[in-house]
Amino acid sequence: MKIALIEDNKLLGENTKLFLQLKNIEVEIYECVEDFDENDLQNYDILVLDINLPGKNGDIFLTELRQKGYQIPIMMLTSKNTCNDIVDGLEKGADDYISKPFNYEEFTARLKVLARRKIGEIPTNIRKYQIENDEYEVNFDAKSLKKNGQNIYLGSLEFKLFDYFIKNRGKVLDRASIYEEVWGEFESYQLSRTVDVYVGYLRKKFGKNVIKTRKGDGYILE
């Protein structure tokens, strides 16, 4: 088992890592969300996430991960232990919630339970996203898409463009980087018109406000 632990308390992080290593559990520690690359989630079995972190809070990061469709088991680690705190964390998408200070044996047992749940899941490359007031279900293997349960046809280039936007949600993407990702090497500014045309295609299918223009910068899926 391999877990990512995002915890800013260095002593707690190192002690937790040492104990788990004795249980043959591999641990990598990050002191803040900004140090962690979410694209590396595929390398871990479980994410253990503290709530009170420098920079972006853990509960905000949790919400973002679930909105992007990441299904990795997430355990919240926090000093907040009221019923409302626990319910709030679980409703935001946490799979488990443990309060500090905690017993290392109990902590390890909870990790093993989460790992068993993951093993028992049917492997899938289907993710769900909430965009504005609509729910989208994307099957990356079949390259198919549903909006509120209804199939939406996307051509291969349209799907590739949507895939690039969804994986970079919240980031402004300039036309050159979009073109290079979807079509190949960007050679001239004239090619950026191709990007504009295909963004227009997506807007017709998803709504004109789903992908927003950032004048002089490019496009963003918020």
Q: How far is the CA of 125 from the CAs of 8, 102, 139, 196, in angstroms?
A: 32, 34, 6, 29
Fold classification of 2-120 is Rossmann fold (3.40.50)
Look at residue 9 in the predicted model and tell me its pLDDT.
93
- Where are the chain's structural domains? 2-120, 127-221
CATH number for the domain formed by residue range(s) 127-221: 1.10.10.10
Tokens found for residue 100: 């500090």
Instruction: Give the whole-angstrom CA distance, residue 93 versus residue 113.
Output: 17
- List pLDDT tens digits, range 59-91: 899 988 887 778 789 999 888 777 777 778 788
Q: Which of 85, 84, 95 is nearest to 49 (CA)?
A: 95
Question: Tens digits of per-residue pLDDT, 41-62?
Answer: 888 999 999 998 999 999 899 9
Strand order in the sheet with 26-30: 26-30, 2-6, 46-50, 74-78, 96-99
**For the whole model, what pTM was predicted?**
0.57
